[in-house]
Structure 1
Amino acid sequence: MRIFEGWDRVAEMLNAQAAKAEDLGDEKALLDEGQRASIRVIAGRLREGRRALLVADEVGMGKTRIAAALIDAVRQCGGRTAIVMPAGLGAQWQAELRLFDSSDRTLLPLRSYESFIRGFGSDGDDDLAAGWQKRRDERLRDRRQQRELPNGNWRDEKILMISHAFARMSFPEPANGDLPWRRELMPALEALSKGRRRNMRDGGRGERRSTHRAAHAALETFDIQSLQIGPARDWRRVSSEEYRRAVLPVIGRALGRFDLVVIDEAHKARGEESSLSRILGPLIWECEDPFRLGLTATPVELDADQWRNTLKRLVAPQGAATDDGADDNALSALEKPISDYATTAKRLQTEPLCEALVAKFEQDAKAFSDALGPYVIRRDKRSDKELVAFREKHGVDYRDIRTVSVAPAEMGRDWLRAFCAAETLSILPQTDRSMKRRRLTIETGHGLDKLILEPGATEAVSDLDFWSRNALLPEGANIFEHPAIRAAVKTIEAATAEGRKVLVFGTLVSPLQALTRLLDARAMLRHLAEGRHWPARRVHAGTEDALRAALRAPDCPSGAPASIDEVSRLLEERYGAVHRKRRAGLRAMHREIIARARDGHESAMLILQIWPEGDPGELFGESRTALFLEALEGRLARRPQARGTGEPIDWTAAQLLQEAQALISELTEGAGDGFAEERSDGTLSRDASLLQLLSSHLVDYSGHEGNFARLLYGQTPPQTRRLLQAAFNREGSWPMVLVAQSTVGREGLNLHEECRTVVLLHAEWNPGVVEQQIGRVDRKNSRFLKDYHAGVWRKNGLSPPRIEIHCIQMDGGYDSHHWAVLRERWASLRAQLHGDVVATKDRAQDRTNAELADLIKRLERATPDFYPSPTTAFDLSPDPPPDLGRIGRYLG
């Protein structure tokens, strides 16, 4: 194995990369000016002996590219890298790594204990009957080919991606006193360390053999650095948590040692017992001189002390061997400058500017910069030349944040009455908790059917008090008519009518589902009214309420069917006509696919399992064949144009096979370990074949959640999430609207290629979440920049395009208070991360008040700026000031 050449050599490689990129220029180079500055700073820190750095660039500025450059340099110098990342980002990291090394074959992220163990598997391990063993061996080989598992040992992988969720693994207690293979690793290692042989038990024999190889791999590391495995225990009896604590460092040893650890979204899961903290603590086995690189756009979100919490993941491991707690002291030294700066920045937003306040800010800002400087580099949009030029030329920010207020007069009498009554219930002193919560329910639309529309089961409406009776909506009202939902629909459709895609974020699933279904129902009515094709044979049962609300809407399109029955009749009639028209072409194509399958074409053979030979099947409606064609048509950018003519796509066999292969590739890539997860008894949790993976996708694609608008939430399978991301980034293809639950779609995902409009349906408490949400479309090479550079707006005499953020807000109640709190916290966050400390009211007066303008200029000059400057040096002398001395000791 090649020996790591050291960090000085890595620094040379980084400087060479920067020089090469500079020669090529920003248009052709992989690294732009800011990224080149960042890797030069990293090179300088490496030469100074520093071994921890947080890249805290604003969302969308290419942090991953900087990390990929460092990883490539480490790889070329013989070092190993672990990338610890949130689930769902593996494909994006693989794409970045391939930019630096076209032959890169980095594995998909390691997400489960089962995958870790199966990585040590070999053909024939299971001792099954010939047919069953062949199937298991083929599955193992397929997983290696798909780059889910290593071809050799885990420790031979130069770059290893590990999911944040990996250390959530559980070890259930065995039933009937048996020792399942999930608890085999510790007793196997214990036996090996004492020179004893452990007999193979029945059940899960393949997994047990793989586990014993993992134990051997861990034991071999004891020659390098011993590992204390504790006293002998009955591993069948310990709790799952205790077993996990014991096994995590053993797993780390079997994965091998790492020179570089990259922590993507380093601010996430801050708890000491979170899966990410377990990975960075007992699991990751680092070399004697490791480097940790953290990546996050939001190192601080709500509390200024979160700076220390984030940085601890980078610095604390280096001081772990000391007993004096000095690493904690170094981080504690950050508390006062961070707190003082946050407090003073907040005062700037509320107090009149004066000499004393500005001087105080200048003092605190310098202390803040000096304290964080050794830890952090950060580029924000202040350093983006294009965006600075945009602001200077047009006099506005490139982000257009709009409040979409739902005024009481726009709610309608019934909704307004219920809204006011629910607000009153929330402040009455003797009201029970369930009644108080109706305020939140009515404003967010969460659980309306259960909590608002239906009276309590144990009491009649007549028995309720005045306010409780009025908090009930009349019979027949539904969530699809909620004022906030209606306002969101109006905002979204204004954008889609211009051909623009829209990204929607919300926190509560029920309103998000309602919005998705209503948007889809309204799109269907427009298509039917205009005589365009709609890919459904009938109205799905789960969408009838949404369609009923769309039919009742005042803006229901002229010429649309008048009832659900009429809609179903028209859908079946038109779909049947289209099917009959292209029947001959599809059957000819089917015959060609059969011929190619007989010649061994893999995609053709898979298609025949959905569309069997000798069974023409129903080629429309809800058959698997129809759904398969619909799923493929959804991938093509010309799909809307095909619908515009009233016709679906006329396929050729070559085109269908090409699109089918692309779909299968995206499915397997997006599935990750979910594609092959197995139960503890060794049986498959679902058939792990490509056919089952494709069939599962077709079920999800069958229209239950729509096609024009799609919902991305916790229950969306990993492979479908990946496909939705790809489709949303593809010009012209559906979905036009992606409705995302904020916990699922807010971090890491690139959704910017065709979208510059974001709708925030629900207010967040955490401004860092909002920055992450907007950051999905505010990125390099975004749709906004493409539209701006295209210049169509200029030719038509229009205002320049901007990134639009629409905040849906119910006026006059708790929802307004919620948004006000978020705006206040957002201002504090931007002061700490974006240098945006001057209050809006002061900005508005600086042109007419020379004294005020001078104070504002002083604030701007004093604002902390962690832009990567290679010339920055930190005092590492024996007698520096106390705070910086501790920092220098542990970073230099």
Structure 2
Amino acid sequence: MTIWPSDDNRTGVYRQINELLKGFSRPLPSGSGSGTDQAWLDAGQRATLAALQNRLCERDLPGAIIADEVGMGKTRIAVALACAVVRASGRVVVAVPPGLLHQWREEFHKTFRAAKEDPPEIPEIRSLRDLYSDDSRSLRSAPVLLLPHGLLNFQMKNGWGSQRLRTLYQDHIAGRERFSRMIPADEKQIIGDHVGRLANDHALQPEELQSGGTGREAFISFTLSLLGGFDLVIIDEAHKSKDDASAERENAHRSTLAQLLLRLVRQDRVKNVPPRRLCLTATPFELGPDNWRQILLRAGVDDEIAQSCGKASEKFLAAAKAVQLLPGPATAEAFRIAATEFHEQLSPWMLRRRKAVPGNDSVLERYISKHGPDYRDRSQRITAEVTSKDWSVAVMAVEALSLMPATGLAAQKRLRLALARGFSLASAFDAVEKPEKGDWRDSDEHTLSAPGRGPVTNRQEDRRRERAGFWLERLKPAAADPYAHPTLLAAVRAIEKIAIRSEAPEKVLVFGIFTQAMRRLTDLLNAREMIRRLMIFSQNPDAPFKTWHWPGETIPVDAQFREALAAALQMADMRSLVGNADIDTLSGLMQRQYDKYRSQRSRALDDVRIYVTETLGPQIGLAVQTEKLVLPLTQALIEIMDDQELRHGRSTVAEAWDAFRKENLPNNEEDEDGASDPDQNLTSRIKLALTDFDGRNGFFARRLAGGMGPAAKQHLQTAFNRRASWPMVLVAQSSVGREGLNLHTSCRTVVLFQPEWNPGVVEQQIGRVDRIGSLWEEMVSQHRGNTEPPKIRILPVELPGSYDEHNWKVLNDRWDSYRAQMNGEVFGSAKSMDQASCEVTEVVRNATPDFSPLPGAPET
């Protein structure tokens, strides 16, 4: 019997949702994870859960999309629905982006405890090998499974991991005659062939299971069938991995996420009853109508309906642009018609709540009613200045190269971007030194020649190559001095103005794309702050240690940091501080200030260390052999105490330990990349939590880049959210830091060091600081008087005349289109509202689509 009844609404998931709605509306006791006098689900979250009940149970729809703005609690709603499924004896699987598995596991445990039930066991799955583990039978019965988006992102080679996976597969199919009904017939036949070959002692070859291999799809289907069937499939960040939803695309050409979802929704528990789907995303569409179609297909919508929604989106967007350009009765009426159709097409599938809701007593709504809709300030720019001769010539050279006809130089047309963003000037010179076929330095043997004749010299082509070589030579001086890059220097000045020089320094979140440019920015910020602090110590050793302390006993030996430090010492404002001081002088000052800092903090360090060894030790089983944990744990607790004292005026070691435990040891469970021993004790988990902890060695600026483990990300996120601890600046890789991270409690400024083209991506980036309970909301609540109210600052870095300047204009146009569709902000700014009459504005405002499940939203 299905747990999603369409006729009898008194049983199954429907009934469980009713019970949860009652329970989650009551205030939870202090210490439950929600806070005193707060319900586990707020009114908007409960309304969304009730709307999901209506769609998935009563109306028997295959799926739904929760597209709430960032920071509105989509995960909590999804887990509440999953809780209802599990309580109805169903099974749930969640496809989770990398790095967020621990957050989902924690949310599941908190939600079940809020429902007064024991949390389910959630097996840890990090690779396909885990599906063949000795305990694999428990996977088939586990009520909840979390799978990483990239589970199928594997290669079959001759390494140990590939050999082990291939052996496990062969061991499981050897001698079998029957296979799961969830595997298509053609793939069963391929698996049957594998069984026959194994019976004749013919092992499978790696290339057969490699991408494009004859047996790869069947192997994936069999492996995932070991998990059993599901009743609910939740897809977090469901907008990812686009251009793969078309049914006509071959499996081998689909993204790994699309291939994973294809198998998960195929695994129905009752014949002809596929699992319901729930897509979570703050950016369901990003660039065009086809994006609507793709995410709707992932929600189980028929292709015909999905295409119709995409067309309605296209019409609505055109009508929105028309009424923006020519606000009048005719365009307003056309907009109303298009908006109505758009809402009717999309509302059965999508639910979206906004932070600002008329009648809701939120900080944002009060701000908008009093100051207007522009609570995000994107009017400012960080403008780079080209002052030096080398960079003036470089700008001229890049323009000349970009306007020339193609010469075969691979990097030539990218140089405009390279100059503005500082990421690939060197590649042009690599091409010069190591020419490839078609390069501008190739000999005339590759030019056109007539049949039967020798090579014909093309004088025009030869002159083009000579000109390209001339302009490339003009670029070399600028490329040789990357720390003098105008955009880099402009970004440093703007960031320091906010994070150091303001009356009330604030933290700054920076987003970049290219690794080397981001590293130079981070190193230069750290080098300059190191110099400033050491000079304060040199001039006044008796000043408060917080003004001169730099973590560490010696200057880092890292070659790239030393290069940044040498560059910083040559900058005019630094020279005015250091005079003739060099790196050796700074090394001596570093040792002296470290000794003084250690003596000043020794008492606090000793007090906390005693608490750790004598009080915590017996409580948590901190054995003698774990002495190496004592110092980092002590340092971590001191850092937490500093932040608590700044916020509340007082702190104790016990309070710091409680905060550390909640932040790093949630629910006494393993991290997603924890030790292989599932029974690891508390000491082991503390060691894991402190693996990437920098403690007092943390720098003024830190980089969040790819390859960083979940534990390190968690530490960096926690440290950035503390106002009393470094880093003051977090430089995040766009693809790593834009989703799933909460970076809002101590920051309201986003610097777009290398702006993206995609408005959905930028919306996600800004969403890291634009969240409920943010620093900005706190500042607005405390704002008094007639002064300009605080805003969330969005600062793109631009090089005048470069392609990035044009990029920002295009991005803003796309951004306005995005917010018109998703937020109804057709006249999003005060300026655009002034251009329209009151009557037109009223028609547009009343017609804008509203997908909110709260009372007052249009009926669906």
Q: What is the TM-score of this pair, normalised by structure 2? A: 0.78
1:249 Cα offset (Å)? 2.9
1:229 aligned to which of 188, 191, 201: 188
Q: Secondary structure at the match of 2:780?
A: helix
Structure 1 pair 360–759 and aligned structure 2 pair: CA distance change class (3 A): same
Structure 2 equivalent of residue 619 of structure 1 = none
Matched residues in 1 for 2:635 and 2:718: separation?
A: 16
1:390 aligned to which of 331, 354, 367: 367
Q: Secondary structure at the match of 1:293?
A: strand
Matched residues in 2 for 1:591 and 1:335: separation?
A: 64
Matched residues in 2 for 1:596 and 1:570: separation?
A: 37
Q: Secondary structure at the match of 1:752?
A: coil
In the TM superposition, what whole-angstrom CA distance separates every residue of 1:455-512 from its partner, at most 9, and x where no partner exists?
85899x999755334333359x632222212222222222223232211101111111
Q: Secondary structure at the match of 1:403?
A: coil
1:181 Cα offset (Å)? 3.4
Q: Is the Cα–Cα contact under 8 Å of residues 65 and 349 in structure 2 kept in the other structure?
A: yes
1:260 Cα offset (Å)? 1.4
1:869 Cα offset (Å)? 5.4
Q: Secondary structure at the match of 2:188?
A: coil
Structure 1 pair 447–565 and aligned structure 2 pair: CA distance change class (3 A): farther
Matched residues in 2 for 1:632 and 1:657: separation?
A: 6
Structure 1 equivalent of residue 88 of structure 2 = 77
Q: Is the Cα–Cα contact under 8 Å of residues 447 and 510 in structure 1 kept in the other structure?
A: no
Structure 2 equivalent of residue 280 of structure 1 = 261
Structure 2 equivalent of residue 759 of structure 1 = 751
The amino acid of 2:357's aligned partner reads S
1:194 aligned to which of 146, 164, 177: 177
Q: Secondary structure at the match of 1:808?
A: strand
1:586 Cα offset (Å)? 7.3
1:734 Cα offset (Å)? 1.6
Matched residues in 2 for 1:870 and 1:592: separation?
A: 53
Structure 1 pair 447–576 and aligned structure 2 pair: CA distance change class (3 A): farther
The amino acid of 1:232's aligned partner reads D
The amino acid of 2:47's aligned partner reads A
Structure 1 pair 106–494 and aligned structure 2 pair: CA distance change class (3 A): farther
Higher relative contact order (CA 8 A, sep 6+): 1
1:395 Cα offset (Å)? 3.1
Structure 1 pair 599–297 and aligned structure 2 pair: CA distance change class (3 A): closer
Please state if 1:43 is matched with 2:53.
yes
Q: Which runs of 5+ in 2 are unaligned?
A: 29-35, 198-202, 245-253, 436-440, 442-464, 538-547, 678-682
Please state if 1:496 is matched with 2:506.
no
Structure 1 pair 227–831 and aligned structure 2 pair: CA distance change class (3 A): same
Please state if 1:862 is matched with 2:850.
no
Matched residues in 1 for 2:603 and 2:26: separation?
A: 58
Deviates more, 1:38-47 or 1:14-23: 14-23
Matched residues in 1 for 2:604 and 2:812: separation?
A: 58
Q: Is the Cα–Cα contact under 8 Å of residues 102 and 672 in structure 2 kept in the other structure?
A: no
1:569 aligned to which of 588, 609, 621: 588
Q: Secondary structure at the match of 1:738?
A: strand
1:179 Cα offset (Å)? 10
Q: Is the Cα–Cα contact under 8 Å of residues 833 and 841 in structure 2 kept in the other structure?
A: no
Instruction: Quote the sequence identity (%).
Output: 33
Q: Is the Cα–Cα contact under 8 Å of residues 400 and 804 in structure 1 kept in the other structure?
A: yes
1:107 aligned to which of 88, 109, 122: 122
Matched residues in 2 for 1:637 and 1:20: separation?
A: 38
The amino acid of 2:391's aligned partner reads W
Matched residues in 1 for 2:513 and 2:606: separation?
A: 46
Q: Is the Cα–Cα contact under 8 Å of residues 721 and 743 in structure 2 kept in the other structure?
A: yes
Structure 2 equivalent of residue 292 of structure 1 = 277
Q: Is the Cα–Cα contact under 8 Å of residues 415 and 425 in structure 2 kept in the other structure?
A: no
Q: Is the Cα–Cα contact under 8 Å of residues 166 and 275 in structure 1 kept in the other structure?
A: yes
In the TM superposition, what whole-angstrom CA distance separates every residue of 1:109-139 from its partner, at most 9, and x where no partner exists?
5221233333627xxxxxxxxxxxxxxxxxx
Q: What is the TM-score of this pair, normalised by structure 1? A: 0.76
Structure 1 pair 522–628 and aligned structure 2 pair: CA distance change class (3 A): farther
1:762 Cα offset (Å)? 0.9
Deviates more, 1:752-761 or 1:580-589: 580-589
Structure 1 equivalent of residue 542 of structure 2 = none
Matched residues in 1 for 2:858 and 2:807: separation?
A: 43
Matched residues in 1 for 2:126 and 2:738: separation?
A: 20
The amino acid of 2:268's aligned partner reads E
The amino acid of 2:239's aligned partner reads H
The amino acid of 2:133's aligned partner reads R
Matched residues in 2 for 1:354 and 1:635: separation?
A: 57
Please state if 1:484 is matched with 2:490.
no
Matched residues in 2 for 1:664 and 1:845: separation?
A: 50
Q: How is 1:757-836 mapped onto 2 (pairs within 5 angstroms)?
A: 757-789=749-781, 791=782, 793-794=783-784, 798-836=787-825
Q: Secondary structure at the match of 1:473?
A: helix
Structure 1 pair 873–575 and aligned structure 2 pair: CA distance change class (3 A): closer
The amino acid of 1:428's aligned partner reads M
2:566 aligned to which of 548, 564, 573: 548
Structure 2 equivalent of residue 330 of structure 1 = 305
The amino acid of 1:442's aligned partner reads L
Deviates more, 1:3-12 or 1:293-302: 3-12
1:831 Cα offset (Å)? 1.8
Structure 1 equivalent of residue 715 of structure 2 = 723
Structure 1 pair 190–520 and aligned structure 2 pair: CA distance change class (3 A): same
1:80 Cα offset (Å)? 1.6
1:308 Cα offset (Å)? 0.7
The amino acid of 2:315's aligned partner reads D
1:587 Cα offset (Å)? 8.8
Please state if 1:367 is matched with 2:346.
no
In the TM superposition, what whole-angstrom CA distance separates every residue of 1:279-332 from its partner, at most 9, and x where no partner exists?
21124523334321111111111121110111101215xxxxxxxxxx333333
In the TM superposition, what whole-angstrom CA distance separates every residue of 1:779-812 from its partner, at most 9, and x where no partner exists?
12222112222x1x317x6432222111111112
Q: Secondary structure at the match of 1:756?
A: strand
Deviates more, 1:723-732 or 1:294-303: 723-732
Structure 1 pair 549–854 and aligned structure 2 pair: CA distance change class (3 A): same
In the TM superposition, what whole-angstrom CA distance separates every residue of 1:557-607 from its partner, at most 9, and x where no partner exists?
965573211111110222234456777997999899888999796434453
Structure 1 pair 781–192 and aligned structure 2 pair: CA distance change class (3 A): farther
Matched residues in 1 for 2:493 and 2:434: separation?
A: 36
Structure 1 pair 545–250 and aligned structure 2 pair: CA distance change class (3 A): same
1:454 Cα offset (Å)? 12
Structure 1 pair 18–788 and aligned structure 2 pair: CA distance change class (3 A): farther
Structure 1 pair 412–101 and aligned structure 2 pair: CA distance change class (3 A): same
Structure 2 equivalent of residue 524 of structure 1 = 530
The amino acid of 1:74's aligned partner reads V
Please state if 1:505 is matched with 2:504.
no
Q: Which runs of 5+ in 1 are unaligned?
A: 122-151, 196-218, 317-326, 612-624, 643-649, 678-687, 876-892
1:444 Cα offset (Å)? 0.3
In the TM superposition, what whole-angstrom CA distance separates every residue of 1:54-103 from its partner, at most 9, and x where no partner exists?
11112222211211221222222222211111111123223333332224
In the TM superposition, what whole-angstrom CA distance separates every residue of 1:505-532 from its partner, at most 9, and x where no partner exists?
0111111101111111122222223332
Q: Is the Cα–Cα contact under 8 Å of residues 174 and 236 in structure 1 kept in the other structure?
A: no
Q: Secondary structure at the match of 1:716?
A: coil
1:5 Cα offset (Å)? 8.2
Q: How is 1:139-218 mapped onto 2 (pairs within 5 angstroms)?
A: 153-172=138-157, 180-194=163-177
Matched residues in 2 for 1:378 and 1:598: separation?
A: 48
Q: How is 1:449-848 mapped onto 2 (pairs within 5 angstroms)?
A: 451=428, 467-473=471-477, 478-497=481-500, 498-531=504-537, 532-542=548-558, 543-556=561-574, 560=578, 562-579=581-598, 602-605=621-624, 607-609=626-628, 637-638=642-643, 665=665, 672-673=672-673, 676=676, 697=692, 707-789=699-781, 791=782, 793-794=783-784, 798-838=787-827, 843=832, 845-846=834-835
